[in-house]
Amino acid sequence: MDNHVAKGDKLARISGIWDGDVALNLLRAAPFRILEQTSMFFEPSNQAGEILSCAPENIPNVTSDWNNRLSAEDGRARQKAIRRLSWDGAQYKICYKWRSNQGEDIWLEEQGRRKSGLGEMPTEIEGVIRNITAIRRAEKRTSFLATHDELTSVFNMASIRTSLDHLAALTTRQRGEGALLRLRLTNLEDVNSVYGFETGDRLLIEFARRLSQIVRAPDILGRIGEADFALVLYGSDAEDVHAIVKRLFFLLENSPVQTPHGGLYGEFSASATQMRTQASTALEALSQTETALVDGKASVLTTYQESMGNKTIRSNRETTADDIINALNERRIRLAYQPIIETKTSTLHHYECLLRLRRADGEIVSAGRFIMAAERLGLVHLLDRRALELAAETLAQDPNVHLALNVSAGTVKDVKAAAGYIVALKALGHATERVTLELTETVALDDPAMASEFSNDVRAMGCEFAIDDFGSGHTTFRNLMAIEADMIKIDGTLIEGIASDVNKQTFVRMMVDLAQTFSVKTVAEMVDDRGDADMLRRLGVDYLQGFMFGVPSAAPSWQKRAS
């Protein structure tokens, strides 16, 4: 019998097993055979083609052709591993980069064992090749984030502290010059509250890019706070710092950043301290520049002085219980409404209600920090009740509007607060059928029994119940479904850039499939790009929310029509 025919029969007999190997497919893996150390077979070939990013007919079936796709070093390592299979059952495992037909480098993990052979010469090897490109990228990303800021890709606080300590030791030992310069984007909070956090992030990313273009080694640029950047300046005296700041202000403030809402300008204040003569450690330098910014003015550099050391930092003082009570009594808590769109029809489905705070000077800002302080002080249930009161007024004004409200852990976990909230909900009557209550995934899983009881109570009155930020925590879908949610809102970090991220597409497709199995609706948050929206439609997501469809507004569309 022809030897090749016999080999083909053998492959055909096992192909049925391979075709049904769902686990390998999910692992992005493909089984293979090497015969006589010369011929290499994949079955099924279409599965291997997906893993190797090439058509099945273009997969090399000669081991020498396969090795030609590797670097010389990786090729030698692979041949060496195979030659060491000197007995039946001997195994090997190696990782290498493989060049696809498109010239793309793919990371593969090859694991195999000798099935048969003659003496020390293997005649048949069976194994599995797995695409580990995503894993390698994740490992590389993790290593990068140990020293860099995730959003802007400049150095992070840990790296800045290390650089400052190095500069402090250098200036002390050599009596040289050096400084820490801190830049603060002072209008970031305003941008976040008016245009949303995605737009604020755009500003931060762009300003980090501009700063990176002018920073020269050995100086170090990093992000050390929500709106703060730091420059560790080697060999710079006070006069040098003033010259640098003048150039930076011109670079950052005189050219707008283009966003979907038009060109936005940054407003900056700056502070500086000299190493050795003023600060001898990283902690001192960071503290001094923070203190100097208390009196900082826009487009002005404030240099730290010893007299500033005793000043109270009023701008960063903690919100007190009196602040929260006063804001509620003075009715300075408002709602902003962001539309959520039905994917199939591109029509409005409902609005999410977001809290806004009106300051004493009349300015409307995001209530994010205010809510965090209320949670810390055990008063957040008061904000939830106020939001429900405002929503009740809106529901009464418009019989067609459907609203989603966020409920905090402080309300759900507190028996008395939860009972009071339920009573207020009942007072809405039939309007509860136009209310969705959202509880974050992490809060829901902190006490699933409590979350399930609250969910059952509100759903019994006609409300819908949603799990917010789904996918941001470490959980299983089964645990969340035990809470009997009507809807899950997929965390925005899994949505942004999904059109070009295969891994995100896979993950969201899995969520959607599972949600549909349990008759649960899905909402994608942070949809800010048409390409992402189109991809989410193809993946079967039910609703879309993001700045592409509308920013949170105190005057939503139905109010504008009425006026």
CATH, residue 248: 3.30.70.270
Q: In this predicted model, what pLDDT tens digit does every residue of 385-401 receive, in sequence order?
A: 999 999 999 999 999 99
The mean pLDDT of 185-213, rounded to a whole number, is: 87
Structure tokens at 278: 């003023």
CB contact at 8 A, 501 and 471: no
Structure tokens at 87: 């007995």
Last residue in a domain, options 257, 275, 310 = 310
Q: In this predicted model, what pLDDT tens digit does every residue of 150-181 receive, in sequence order?
A: 899 999 998 999 999 899 888 888 888 899 99
Per-residue model confidence (pLDDT) at position 163: 92
Residue 102, domain member (yes or no): yes
Per-residue model confidence (pLDDT) at position 255: 82
Which amino acid, 12? A
Verify that 397 and 464 share a domain, yes or no.
yes
Q: What is the CATH number of the domain that holds 71?
A: 3.30.450.20
Per-residue model confidence (pLDDT) at position 316: 44
Residue 398, domain member (yes or no): yes
pLDDT beyond 60 at 39: yes
Which value, to the nearest 10 degrees, does the dihedral of the CA atoms of residues 419, 421, 424, 428 take? -120
State what percent of residues in the chain have pLDDT above 70: 86
Residue 143, domain member (yes or no): no
CB contact at 8 A, 257 and 203: yes
Residue that is written with structure tokens 């604020």 in the block: 200
Per-residue model confidence (pLDDT) at position 104: 84
Verify that 295 and 354 share a domain, yes or no.
no
pLDDT beyond 90 at 507: no
Verify that 276 and 393 share a domain, yes or no.
no
CB contact at 8 A, 7 and 35: yes
Q: In this predicted model, what pLDDT tens digit does every residue of 351-387 receive, in sequence order?
A: 999 888 877 666 666 676 678 778 778 888 999 999 9
Considering its fold, how many domains does the chain have in total? 3
Verify that 180 and 67 share a domain, yes or no.
no
The mean pLDDT of 484-513, rounded to a whole number, is: 87
Q: Higher model confidence: residue 72 or residue 260? A: 72
Verify that 65 and 161 share a domain, yes or no.
no
Residue that is written with structure tokens 């070939």 in the block: 45
Domain hosting 200: range is 148-310
Phi/psi at 31 (5° precision): -75, 155
Per-residue model confidence (pLDDT) at position 283: 87
The mean pLDDT of 62-86, rounded to a whole number, is: 89
Per-residue model confidence (pLDDT) at position 556: 66
Per-residue model confidence (pLDDT) at position 561: 42
Verify that 241 and 329 share a domain, yes or no.
no
Residue 316, domain member (yes or no): no
CB contact at 8 A, 288 and 319: no
Q: Higher model confidence: residue 523 or residue 477? A: 523
Per-residue model confidence (pLDDT) at position 350: 93
Other Cβ atoms less than 10 A from the Cβ of 323: the count is 17
Verify that 286 and 326 share a domain, yes or no.
no
Q: In this predicted model, what pLDDT tens digit does every residue of 128-152 receive, in sequence order?
A: 998 888 888 888 887 888 889 989 9
Residue 142, domain member (yes or no): no
Verify that 328 and 291 share a domain, yes or no.
no
Last residue in a domain, options 77, 103, 137 = 137
Last residue in a domain, options 75, 102, 137 = 137
Q: Using only C-alpha atoms, what is the Rg of the chain? A: 30
pLDDT beyond 60 at 18: no
Residue 315, domain member (yes or no): no
Per-residue model confidence (pLDDT) at position 342: 95
CB contact at 8 A, 395 and 361: no
The mean pLDDT of 29-43, rounded to a whole number, is: 86
Verify that 170 and 65 share a domain, yes or no.
no
pLDDT beyond 60 at 313: no
Verify that 121 and 167 share a domain, yes or no.
no
Residue 302, domain member (yes or no): yes
Q: In this predicted model, what pLDDT tens digit does every residue of 432-442 receive, in sequence order?
A: 999 999 987 66
Verify that 489 and 371 share a domain, yes or no.
yes
pLDDT tier at 6, thresholds 50, 70, 90:
very low
Q: Higher model confidence: residue 476 or residue 347? A: 347
Please report how many Cα atoms fall inside a 13 Å half-sphere around the Cα of residue 510, on the Cβ side.
Answer: 12
Instruction: Give pTM, 2 decimals.
Output: 0.48
Per-residue model confidence (pLDDT) at position 314: 41
Verify that 381 and 276 share a domain, yes or no.
no
Instruction: Calculate the average pLDDT of the chain.
Output: 83
Q: Write out 430-448 in H/E/C secondary structure.
A: HHHHHEEEEEEHHHHHHCH
Per-residue model confidence (pLDDT) at position 12: 41
Distance CA 193, CA 175 (A): 46
pLDDT beyond 60 at 459: yes
pLDDT tier at 11, thresholds 50, 70, 90:
very low
Residue 120, domain member (yes or no): yes
Which amino acid, 39? S
